[in-house]
Structure 1
Amino acid sequence: MSRANTFSCLLVMLAAVVVAAAPQARGQAASMSASSEQIAVVRTAFAGKEPAPLGATAEALKMPEALVASALSHVQTHGVSAIHFQAIWKSIETWGDAARIIIKGPKLFEI
């Protein structure tokens, strides 16, 4: 798997997990869809640069990772249904020692 494809798969998995773990506000799910202004800020931050982990970008922009993920252009993301999680995870298991998994909470992880 190429670096670009690997990054794309990881980005999708992270975005899915972040959205699933979105914080609750007053008993209702907080909006995790970026506004037009937030989209512009995120896309400017990524413009002309190598891909960066969403967490680092979110921290630098002081935005939740889910908002950063929702602001990416369609050429920067790929989506799959959650039913494919097992197949994706089995693929990750073949990556060997180069893969590092960081658990940030009960439902959020980065690879």
Structure 2
Amino acid sequence: MATIKKKRVRRKANGKPRNQKKEWMEFLKNERVHFIFGVLLAFIGIFMLLAIISFFFTGAADQSAVLNKSFWELIRDKTLEVQNWTGVGGAFIAEYMVNGWFG
């Protein structure tokens, strides 16, 4: 004979159900999360700055390699060599930002 299983509700030690949204908000308000997120954004910003600065010196050499290709095609192509200081990813980002966004 089959038995019916009861659905378990995750509860805290005091017996009340957990509030997932409240826990998520507490996680986002944590100072460590703010610090890690800030460091991550700083590294991304520095990477993009280096890519754009390098683009002004090496953009002409990299343009033919980067133009009309998707980001994933460039990343997967191991034989492609670019002059940008930040590599293939930086060459793509700089090309897209300078010529695509800023004109």
Q: TM-score, normalised by structure 2?
A: 0.32
Higher-Rg structure is 2
Structure number having the greater helix percentage: 2
Q: TM-score, normalised by structure 1?
A: 0.31
